[in-house]
Amino acid sequence: MNSNKTIYTGMSGGVDSSVTAASLKEQGFNVVGVYMKNWTQDIAGFECPWKEDYQDAKRVATKLGIDFKVFDFQKEYKQKVVDYMIAEYQAGQTPNPDIMCNQEVKFKLFLDASLADGADMIATGHYARTEGGQLLTAKNKEKDQTYFLYRVTEKALSRTLFPIGDFKTKQEVRDLAKKFGLPTANKKDSQGICFVGQVGIKDFLSEYIKTEPGAIINQNGEEIGEHEGAIFYTIGQRHGLNVGGGLPYYVTKKDVKTNKVYVTTDLSDKELWSKEVNLEDLHWINETPDSKKEYKVRMRYRGPLVSCTLSGKKLILKDEQRAIAAGQSAVIYEGDRCLGGGIII
């Protein structure tokens, strides 16, 4: 039955997407590997790894004996993901480009282009599961990526497969890669910004935004140091402030208009803690959550799951949480199901 279905599989050159393609072929699907050419620019002395990733993806496709294509989304990616990220930082937010990439590129552009080219469905190497247009957490809770996928639509999920979402450990994935003889079996996981590899966010933003040093001000209103540009800092940040001596400082607020960063040594400072969180740009995958029910929310990737209720665009947390950053996403869960969420303001 599977031999009649054509699955276009996003192949990034990593082990996860390689095993995705291999396991689908083993299940009898007609698999077509697709490398999405999203970003090719070198930044701040760091070489963009796209050529190596493309070659690795192509080698895996050759090993598997599957067709291999390149979809060039560079123009759209710059507009939808990179420009969005830069604008958000300029506005004093802390955005998540991976979420926007999934929303605009992988599960919109890639999906539409694949279906138009003859695919029945698409597949990616995300750690997640989908069933009947619902988004479910991966069996590997350490690697679960539903936080980054919460803005994907029910329609897109109904045409998507996440084969590695059923694996409980990363080692299982690597073992399968070795069993299939894939050249990416021992390739390290990518780190850093989703599209430019190892380059740091400060180096990246400095290529596009002109910044100037400004004052660091403590909880007593005293100027205690100088920062490199307010846009670079995140609420709750402790490292990279270069304010020496005594207790550690935490960022409580930043003002990009006056270019000031406010800090405190007091972990109980009310500026650091919130029990109510306002959201915008809400997206629900299936249905709108019930305001009378209690759910769990995650407000940063790998952040804790916190009990909450939802009243319109306001989250009411059961317990106060520290360092909630505007621009990040609050993602709502009911058991293993990801319901959707919104952008923190």
Active site residues: 101, 194
Q: Smallest Cα–Cα separation from 331: which of 303, 292, 290, 291?
A: 303
Using DSSP's 3-state secondary structure scheme, residue 84 falls into helix
Lookup: tokens for 317 = 């947390």
Is the Cβ–Cβ distance between 264 and 271 less than 8 Å? Answer: yes
Q: How far apart are CA 26 and CA 2, in angstroms?
A: 10
Helix (H) / strand (E) element for 239: namely none
Is the Cβ–Cβ distance between 150 and 297 less than 8 Å? Answer: no
Is the Cβ–Cβ distance between 231 and 259 less than 8 Å? Answer: no
Q: How far apart are CA 281 and CA 221, in angstroms?
A: 34
Q: How far apart are CA 156 and CA 203, in angstroms?
A: 34
Q: Smallest Cα–Cα separation from 10: which of 43, 34, 42?
A: 34
Taking each helix axis from N to C end, the angle separating 15-26 and 50-64, rounded to the nearest 10 degrees, works out to: 20
Is the Cβ–Cβ distance between 146 and 341 less than 8 Å? Answer: no
Beta-carbon contacts of 93 under 8 Å, excluding residues fewer than 6 positions away, are: 325, 326, 327
- Cα distance from N-terminal residue to C-terminal residue, the chain: 48
